[in-house]
Amino acid sequence: KMWIKADFNDKEEDPNVLIEKEKVNSSQNLQGYSSASVLRVRDLGKKYNNKTVAVHGITFQVGKGECFGLLGVNGAGKTTTFKMLTGEEIPNKGDASVVKYSLRKNKHKFLSQIGYCPQFDAINKLLTGREMLRVYALLRGVPSALCESEVTKWVNIMGLKEYADRPCGTYSGGNKRKLSAA
């Protein structure tokens, strides 16, 4: 859906990028929220202290049920974009919203709605899948009283019921990805 060029020029924007920006800018209500999109990223940018521009104002939206991919050459800013959307990096400009929560105005609520499956499996091989999900639920701010029901919900959604109480190190590659996605 979106392409980022490593060697960009503000004066030469891809026509598809311009169409996407126009869609994002025209589909919002007064609060900047569009019921058609679950994730909206608007002019999000990251510049490091050494003046290196990692992301130069990316704009896109993802609709409910839509499968989204971010494509670009090495160094284009894909990983940095996802780091900003998951709270690992702080953007220098722009904003993003998940449903109605702004990354800048309500970071905790925003991050509680975001999941990210990185290029590697961020799991502890010694913990069970259920234990891993419990750790991540607590880190994401799920109240302790709701933790078990939330974990069980995601075990079922991801089809991991048969494996949930086994150490993650015994999981197949596919089940590790499912656990990471949950």
CA dihedral 114, 115, 120, 124 (to 10 degrees): 110
The answer as to whether 81 is a domain residue is yes
CA distance 97 to 163: 34
Domain count, the chain: 2
Same domain, 80 and 29: yes
Give the ranges where the chain is alpha helix by DSSP (H).
Answer: 15-26, 78-85, 107-112, 129-139, 144-157, 173-181
Same domain, 102 and 27: yes
The strand pair at 93-98 and 37-47 is best described as antiparallel
Query: To the nearest whole number, what is the mean pLDDT of the chain?
Result: 84
Q: Which of 53, 78, 112 is the last residue of a domain?
A: 112
Same domain, 103 and 151: no
Q: How confident is the model at residue 71 (pLDDT cuts 50, 70, 90)?
A: confident
Same domain, 98 and 13: yes
Q: Report the pLDDT value the prediction gives residue 122, as an integer from 0 to 100.
A: 81
Q: What is the pTM of this model?
A: 0.63
| Domain carrying residue 139 | 129-181
Same domain, 143 and 92: no
Token pair, residue 131, equals 């234990």
The full DSSP string for 46-81 is EE-TT--EEEEEEEEEEETT----EEE-TTSSHHHH
Q: Report the pLDDT value the prediction gives residue 145, as an integer from 0 to 100.
A: 95
Same domain, 39 and 83: yes
Same domain, 76 and 136: no
Same domain, 44 and 85: yes
Same domain, 11 and 79: yes
Q: What is the pLDDT of residues 38-63, one digit of tens each?
A: 899 999 999 998 788 999 899 999 98
